Structure 1
């Protein structure tokens, strides 16, 4: 069972995180779109938002070290789920 102080702290932190997502123009759903999404830089989200899959694939490859084909499949899957 969560202590009342922990509960209010958790609610405050959730509001702060939501604010940061809005402030930086990030899509909070992207964090759950694939494992490791939290490791992607904001430029990745922006590339997806602009439907610039080539830029998103390049960023994905740089961050994950994945090959071109694997990155293309992953980014296309992410783009469809967002």
Structure 2
């Protein structure tokens, strides 16, 4: 990685850290549940609170899948976390 890429990466990391602080988010949640990047923050929060019903509901709203598929996906996320 050259110096320009290193500087750009450092700048992006500072920006992301700023956003976490600004919105009062815990940066550790980003790594707690891999595969949730496309989900809204409420989804990750529901998983963190072990509220599977809310997480399944949000998953269905975002993805448009059926209940059984959403349940299986959310349970798999929790198992693999």
Which consecutive residues of structure 2, in runs of 5 or more, have no partner in the other structure? none
2:40 aligned partner: 41
2:12 aligned partner: 13
Which consecutive residues of structure 1, in runs of 5 or more, have no partner in the other structure? none
1:58 aligned partner: 57
**RMSD, aligned CA:** 2.1
2:25 aligned partner: 24
TM superposition outliers: structure 1 runs of 4+ over 2 Å: 14-23
More deviation in 66-75 or 21-30? 21-30
Taking the aligned partners of 1:21 and 1:71, their CA distance within structure 2 comes to: 28
Return the TM-score normalized by structure 1: 0.77
Judging by fraction of residues, say which structure has more helix: 1
The size of the alignment, in residue pairs, is 78
Q: 1:40 to 1:30 in 2, by over 3 A?
A: farther
